[in-house]
Amino acid sequence: MENVLQQIGIDQYIYLAILLFCIGAFGILYRRNAIVMFMSIEIMLNAANLLLVAFSTYHEDANGQVFVFFTMAVAAAEVAIGLAILVAIYRNIGSIDIDKLKKLKG
């Protein structure tokens, strides 16, 4: 099988991953809606996944792709719990704006 990387090149994957990660990071910093922040986190996670897959292929080592499955499983679990928490918060204070969630201060 011809390697996908010979057609596009590893750098492009890295640039894409960086771009995705930055989008996610800025999303988290900029947006105040908890759900949007969640989505941003997922984007960052996927950027990492993308890199893992890309390097896995590059090194011709399947370990990286195995890790991606773990990551996706953890991410799914995280989303499930995270959304459940958000629902609980919304029921309590009627908002998911993180600026209003300051009860945990020291």
Contacts with other proteins by CB under 8 A lie at: 25, 28-29, 32, 98-99, 101-106
Q: Which is nearer to other proteins, 91 or 105 (CB)?
A: 105
Task: Give whichever of 42 and 65 is closer to other proteins, judged by the CB atom.
Answer: 42
Q: Are 44 and 20 in contact (CB under 8 A)?
A: yes
Q: Least distance in Å: CB of 7 to other proteins? A: 30
Q: How far is the CB of 68 from other proteins (least distance, A)?
A: 22
